[in-house]
């Protein structure tokens, strides 16, 4: 947010989540709810960050799934299969990256099936499984390492 060009883009088109401040994180979630109420599409990254282990995924957080259930809207899972080959280290501003074609799989929508905490877990696990299944085999998490409630 402090980098001049990136900050302008993110302030105008993005809803940044400040994970270190629970009040600001809550405000970001409310902005996403408001955007959905206006009929806007919202893209969320349920891991909460780009893990250094990418494309091997981290466990998903619940926010996107709670929002889908609260608003009774589907989640359209997307697998970015080869992004990790383009962005070498997402935590470093000047990490070498290169132009490339990125393979993307757009999965069928996953619709909410209930309103309980268990419904959040079921939806989260289903979306995780879909995205994970389209990753190259060597990067897929095995079933015994399924995401846990965060």
Q: What is the pLDDT of residues 99-150, one digit of tens each?
A: 778 889 999 999 999 888 889 999 999 999 999 999 888 878 765 344 544 4
Quote the pLDDT of residue 81: 84
- Cα-Cα-Cα-Cα dihedral sign, residues 89, 13, 81, 45: positive
The phi, psi pair for 90, rounded to 5°, reads: -65, -15
Q: What is the pLDDT of residues 28-82, one digit of tens each?
A: 889 999 999 999 988 888 776 666 677 778 888 888 999 999 999 999 999 988 7
The DSSP bridge partners found for residue 106 are 78
Name the packing angle between helices 22-37 and 63-71 (round to 10°): 40
């Amino acid at each position: 947010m402090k980098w001049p060009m990136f900050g302008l883009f993110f302030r105008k088109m993005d809803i940044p989540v400040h994970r270190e401040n629970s009040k600001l994180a809550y405000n970001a979630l409310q902005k996403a709810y408001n955007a959905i109420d206006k009929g806007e599409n919202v893209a969320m990254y349920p891991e909460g960050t780009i893990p250094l282990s990418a494309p091997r995924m981290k466990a998903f957080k619940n926010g996107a799934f709670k929002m889908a259930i609260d608003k009774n809207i589907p989640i359209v899972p997307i697998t970015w299969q080869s992004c990790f080959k383009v962005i070498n280290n997402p935590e470093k501003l000047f990490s070498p990256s290169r132009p490339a074609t990125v393979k993307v799989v757009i999965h069928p929508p996953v619709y909410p099936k209930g309103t309980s905490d268990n419904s959040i877990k079921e939806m989260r696990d289903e979306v995780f499984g879909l995205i994970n299944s389209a990753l190259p085999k060597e990067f897929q998490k095995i079933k015994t390492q399924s995401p846990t409630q965060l």
